[in-house]
């Protein structure tokens, strides 16, 4: 049976609050592995500051890269590409290593993509503020990926993280 390797990491309290906690990242990865009939293995980096993004202080990532090079890791799930790194040059180096290992890298759940689509449409095409969007989402019964009520900070975070991820992916393509 194939194994989905799940990398989890947080660096700030905001990530805990906006639904990207270690527990949430694990739960979403496990849910995805079950959906695809795969076993799973958690690689937990805990709280790691992005200001010190090197392999020297990331033994879990270093081990993952070793397993990729050995062909053990074939499927990797990260909640968001900024779990790999927020440092753009380091991220690109990691993306090249991951891509050259022929790995499949998942970034967002279906629900997260649905939320992003709604938020970006309302913001970009209907000129709504993030406060107006959060009110709209609450009115329509949507919850954050962690099951909380939306705030303007949540909608802004979803919008900016996905845009940042898309920009990184365009650069690395």
Which pLDDT score, from 0 to 100, does residue 105 have?
A: 52
**Domain locations in the chain?**
3-106, 110-172
| Residue 77 C-beta-side C-alpha neighbours within 13 Å | 24
The β-bridge relationship of strands 104-106 and 75-78 is parallel
pLDDT category of residue 76 using cuts at 50, 70 and 90: confident
**Class at the top of the CATH hierarchy for domain 3-106:** alpha beta
pLDDT category of residue 172 using cuts at 50, 70 and 90: very low
pLDDT category of residue 147 using cuts at 50, 70 and 90: confident
Query: Cα(24)–Cα(21) distance, rounded to whole angstroms?
Result: 5
pTM for the whole structure: 0.55
User: Which of 8-22, 66-80, 120-134 has the lowest average pLDDT?
Assistant: 8-22
For residue 68, is pLDDT > 60?
A: yes
Quick one: three-class SS letters along the chain?
CCEEEEEEEECCHHHHHCCCCHHHHHHHHHHHHHHCCCEEEEEEEEECCHHHCCHHHCHHHHHHHHHHHCCCCCEEEECCHHHCCCCHHHHHHHHHHHHHCCCEEECCCHHHHHHHHHHHHHHHCCCCCHHHHHHHHHHCCCCCCCCCCCCHHHHHHHHHHHHHHHHHHHHHC
């Amino acid at each position: 049976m194939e194994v989905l390797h799940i990398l989890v990491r947080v660096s700030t309290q905001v990530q805990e609050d906006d639904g990207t906690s270690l527990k949430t990242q694990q739960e979403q990865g496990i849910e995805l592995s079950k959906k695809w009939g795969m076993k799973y293995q958690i690689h937990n980096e805990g709280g790691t500051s992005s200001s010190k993004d090197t392999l020297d202080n990331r033994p879990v990532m270093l081990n993952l890269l070793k397993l990729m090079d050995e062909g053990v890791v074939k499927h990797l799930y990260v909640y968001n590409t900024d779990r790999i790194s927020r440092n753009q040059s380091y991220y690109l180096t990691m993306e090249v290593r991951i891509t050259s290992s022929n790995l499949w890298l998942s970034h967002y759940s279906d629900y997260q993509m649905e939320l992003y689509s709604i938020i970006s449409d309302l913001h970009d095409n209907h000129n709504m503020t993030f406060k107006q969007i959060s009110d709209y989402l609450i009115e329509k019964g949507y919850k954050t990926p962690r099951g909380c009520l939306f705030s303007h900070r949540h909608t802004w975070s979803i919008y900016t993280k996905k845009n940042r991820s898309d920009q990184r992916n365009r650069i690395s393509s």
